[in-house]
Amino acid sequence: MEETTEAVSFFLIRILILIYKFNQKQMNEIPNCPNCQGENTYFDGSLYVCPNCSHEFNAESAATETTPDVPRDSNGAELMDGDSVTVIKDLKVKGSSMVIKRGTKVKSIRLTEIPEEVDCKIDGSSIVLKTCFLKK
């Protein structure tokens, strides 16, 4: 009887190890979001979804997509210096108690060297915002 329980215990441990290794492999294969480079993507049946910017993409297209050189807002519209944009999500400002509310209008943005970021002034403070949280 003891040999049977030891064999079952050994078998269960082996199964748990295999499940753990399979999950680690699956987690390593999930691509980052090609839109905002977010690491929190998840697979939703047929597409990968980024909860940060709500971008949906295929695994094949994620491998071929490259980061665009032209800054684009959350809807894909091209951004230029001096454009006026609207914030689409409440954003907490790091290092401050300030919160930028959804719907805040930002006038005369300035493009940076990084296409995913724009420089702007909100309430007299100079802030860098990610373009995935803006719309034209």
Q: DSSP letters along 39-58, please?
A: S--EEETTEEE-TTT--EE-
The per-residue pLDDT for range 17-49, each reduced to its tens digit, is 767 666 654 555 778 888 887 888 888 878 888
Q: Which residues in the chain land under pLDDT 70?
A: 1-3, 18, 20-28, 61-68
CB 93, CB 100: distance < 8 Å: yes
The 10 Å Cβ neighbour count of residue 133 is 20
Which domains are assigned to the chain? 23-66 (2.20.25.10), 85-135 (2.30.30.40)
Quote the CA–CA distance of 48 and 134 in Å, as a whole number.
22
